[in-house]
Structure 1
C-alpha cells in the first residue's frame, strides 16, 4: 500500500510540471485590430509531422476559442512557431553531519551530490505583422518534458502547453 501511495504522489508531481512563460511584444503595435490569423511552421529535418500537427491544431483551437478567425490568406497576424528539446542535468548536494558531537569533540560533515537527468523543451511562438513581416509578439515557453504514452495524452498535453503559452495574447497595455 505504501508503494501505491508513493507512486501516486510521484505521478501527481510529474503531471504538474510548470511551464515557464516569457512574453515580449511591440508596445506601439495595435493588437486590437487583429481579428484573423494564420499559422506557419517551417519544419526542420527530422521533426515529427505528428507533433507539428498537434501544435498547429492546439494553437488554432486556442486562438479560435478566444474569438479570432483562422484564415489561409489575408490574415491580420501570422503565427510562426519553433520548438526544440535538449537533455539537461541538475546537480544538487545534500550535507549531513556524522559522528559524535558532544562537548565540542568530533563530528564531521559529508557532502552527497545527487544528479537528476531530464529533457527540457522550449517552444517559441512569434506573431508577425504580415505587412511589415516583423515580429510584434513573442512568447517563449520552457518546461521539463514529460513522457506521454498515448496519442490522446500527447494531444491533451500539447493543448495544455499551448493554452498556457498563449494566455497573455493579446497583451494588455
Structure 2
C-alpha cells in the first residue's frame, strides 16, 4: 500500500525533471510566411557562455528542426538564428511525510525514524538550464521571435546530454512559427 501512495510523487518527480518549460514571444507585425531560409548568427552564438561542443549540439538540433519545418539553410537568409544560455543551481526539498499525511510518527522514545526524523526530507540538487533561441529578420536586423526553454540539465554522459539538448530545442521550436502548433 505504501508503494501505491508513492507512485503519484514518483511520476510527478520524473515528469518535472524531464520536462522543458517553454515560453515564446514574437512580433505580431512580422509575416512568418515570408521566412523560408535561415543562417546562424555567429557573433551572437559566440557570446553564449557554453562549450563549443554544446554550441555545435544546439546548432545541429536547431538546423534539423528548421529543415523539418521546410526551411532551407542559405548564405543569403531571410532570418538569422542566434542563441544564448544561462544556468543555475537549484535545490528541491520535499517533506515526504507531510505529503502523505503521516504526521509525527508512532510511539515514544528517541528513535528519529519513529518521530519523522531521518528519511523525512528529500533533498535534490540539480542544474537548471535556460536556452534562448532568437529568430532575427535578416533584412531589418530586428528580433521577430524568441523561444525560451528551461529545465533540468543532464550532465551524466555525452549521449544523455545530447538527448537533453535535442529535447530542449525540439520543445522550443515546436512553437515556431507562431500559430504552427494549432494547425
Identify the TM-score tier after normalising by the shorter chain.
Answer: 0.7 to 0.9
Structure 1 residue 46 displacement after superposition: 6.1
Q: Normalising by the residue count of structure 1, what TM-score does the alignment of the two structures yield?
A: 0.76
Which residue of 1 is the match for residue 6 of structure 2? none
Aligned to 1:97, what secondary structure does the other structure show? coil
Which residue of 2 is the match for residue 80 of structure 1? 82
Bigger shift: 91-100 or 138-147?
91-100
Structure 1 residue 88 displacement after superposition: 1.1
Q: Given that residues 14 and 146 in structure 1 are in contact (C-alpha distance below 8 angstroms), is that contact kept between their aligned partners in structure 2?
A: no
Structure whose residues are more often helix by fraction: 2
Bigger shift: 125-134 or 39-48?
39-48
Q: Normalising by the residue count of structure 2, what TM-score does the alignment of the two structures yield?
A: 0.72
User: Aligned pairs, how many?
Assistant: 154
| Runs of at least 5 residues in structure 2 that lack an aligned partner in the other structure | 1-9, 108-114
Structure 1 residue 29 displacement after superposition: 0.8
Q: Given that residues 83 and 133 in structure 2 are in contact (C-alpha distance below 8 angstroms), is that contact kept between their aligned partners in structure 1?
A: yes
Which residue of 2 is the match for residue 31 of structure 1? 32
Q: Given that residues 141 and 165 in structure 1 are in contact (C-alpha distance below 8 angstroms), is that contact kept between their aligned partners in structure 2?
A: yes
Which residue of 2 is the match for residue 21 of structure 1? 22
Partner Cα distance (2:136, 2:86) in 1: 20
Residue from 139, 147, 154 that aligns with 1:139: 147
Partner Cα distance (1:137, 1:164) in 2: 15
Deviations 1:86-124 (A, max 9, x none): 111123334323457xxxxxxxx9785543211100000
Which residue of 2 is the match for residue 4 of structure 1? none
- RMSD, aligned α-carbons: 2.9
| Runs of at least 5 residues in structure 1 that lack an aligned partner in the other structure | 1-8, 101-108
